[in-house]
Amino acid sequence: MKHYSSIHDIENINSWIEEAKTIKANPLKHAHLGKHKTIGLLFFNSSLRTRLSTQKAALNLGMNPIVMNVSGDAWGIEFENGTIMNGNTAEHIKEAAAVVSQYCDIIAVRAFPTLTDKVKDESEYVMNSFMQYASVPIVNMESATGHPLQGLTDAITISENTKKIKPKVVLSWAPHVKALPHAVANSFVQAMQKMDVEFVITNPEGYNLNPQITGNTPIISNQNDAFKNADFVYAKNWSSYQEYGQILNTDPNWMITKTKLGNAKFMHCLPVRRNLVVEDAVLDSKNALVIEQANNRTYAAQLVLKKILEKL
C-alpha cells in the first residue's frame, strides 16, 4: 500500500483489525515513529470527526499536522488538463499537489462529489489527481465515492462488539432532507464484503447503490424483513444513484426506531439528524455504538498512518 484511497487498499482486513485493536490498547506505543514528519490535511469540505481524529492519530504517532481549508485559506484549484486558465481557478493541481509534497510527508484530502455529474464524480478526479501529481502518499479523508477511514473504523467496531463468529449486519437507507453522497455507504459495503459477516442492504426503490460495488450483496426492499435477526444495523442516508443525486423518497417510515431495532446494535458514521434518520430512543440507548465508532476513527487513521510511515 502506497496510498490509502479505498477499502481495496486493505490487504487483509482481519489482520488490520487486530493491529488496530493493539494500537487502541496502547496508542502511544509508536509516539516516535512520525517524529519530524508532517501530515497536511487538505479540506475542500467541512469536517468535524475526520478533522479531529486524523490530527489526533497523527499526534499519537508524533507527527506534526498542518491543516488547510483549501477554499477559504488558499484559492480555486484547476483539475482539467490543457485549459487556458483565465477563469476562477488560480492554480493547477499539477503544481498544487507537487508543491504540498515539498512540505508534507503525507497528504490527506477530503473532497465531496458534485452529486450532479456522475461521470466526473466516479472518475475520482480530485483523489486521483493528488495520487498522480503528488510525490508523497495520499490518504482519502472522504472522496466522491468512498470514505475508507470510516469503512475501516466500522469494521473494527463490529469486530469489537460482536458476540457471534458470523454476525448479521444490515445497511439500511434512512430518510434525510438533503441530497447526500454515497461515499460512506460504498466503503461500508466494501468493508463488509471483506469480513466474515452475513451482510444485507435494505433501501427503497430507486436507491440501489452502484451495482459494481454492491455486487452479490442481497438488497432487500422491505426494511422489516432485512432487520430480522440483525446483530448490527448501520443506518445512512444517500441520494439516488440511478437518478443521480436526486431525492426520490423522504418516507419517515424508513427512520430507524427502537422497535424496529430490537436487540441489534445501532451504527452511524455521524453527523446524524435525530428523529429524521433515527429516533432519540435509539441514540440514547446502550445499543448505540456511534460514539465508539467516533472513537475508533482515531485508531483506524493511526493504523493507516503507521503503515504509511513504516514504508517512508
Q: Which residues bind its own copies (CB under 8 A)?
A: 28, 31, 36, 38, 40, 43, 46-49, 51-53, 55-56, 59-60, 64, 66, 68-69, 72-75, 78, 81-87, 89-92, 94-96, 98-100, 102-104, 177, 270-276, 280, 283-284, 290-291, 294-295, 297-298
Q: Residue 147 Cβ, how far from its own copies at the closest point, in Å?
A: 16
5 and 148 in contact (C-beta within 8 Å)?
A: yes
- Identify the CA nearest to 170 among candidates 44, 242, 266, 279: 266
Structure-derived torsion over alpha carbons of residues 246, 291, 52, 76, reported in degrees to the nearest 10: 0
Q: Residue 99 Cβ, how far from its own copies at the closest point, in Å?
A: 4
Q: Residue 192 Cβ, how far from its own copies at the closest point, in Å?
A: 23
Q: Residue 98 Cβ, how far from its own copies at the closest point, in Å?
A: 5
| Residue reference for cell 485508531 | 299
Within 8 A by CB and 6+ apart from 88, the residues are 76
3-state secondary structure of 267: strand
Residue with Cβ nearer its own copies (81 or 222)? 81
Q: Residue 104 Cβ, how far from its own copies at the closest point, in Å?
A: 7
Residue with Cβ nearer its own copies (197 or 288)? 288
Q: What are phi and psi of 249, to 5 degrees?
A: -150, 130
Residue with Cβ nearer its own copies (57 or 226)? 57
Residue with Cβ nearer its own copies (109 or 195)? 109
Q: Residue 277 Cβ, how far from its own copies at the closest point, in Å?
A: 8
Give the pairing of strands 138-140 and 168-173: unpaired
Residue with Cβ nearer its own copies (102 or 259)? 102
Alpha carbon separation from 136 to 31, 78, 130, 140, 300 (Å, rounded): 21, 20, 9, 13, 20
200 and 215 in contact (C-beta within 8 Å)?
A: no
Residue with Cβ nearer its own copies (102 or 212)? 102
Q: What are phi and psi of 170, to 5 degrees?
A: -120, 130
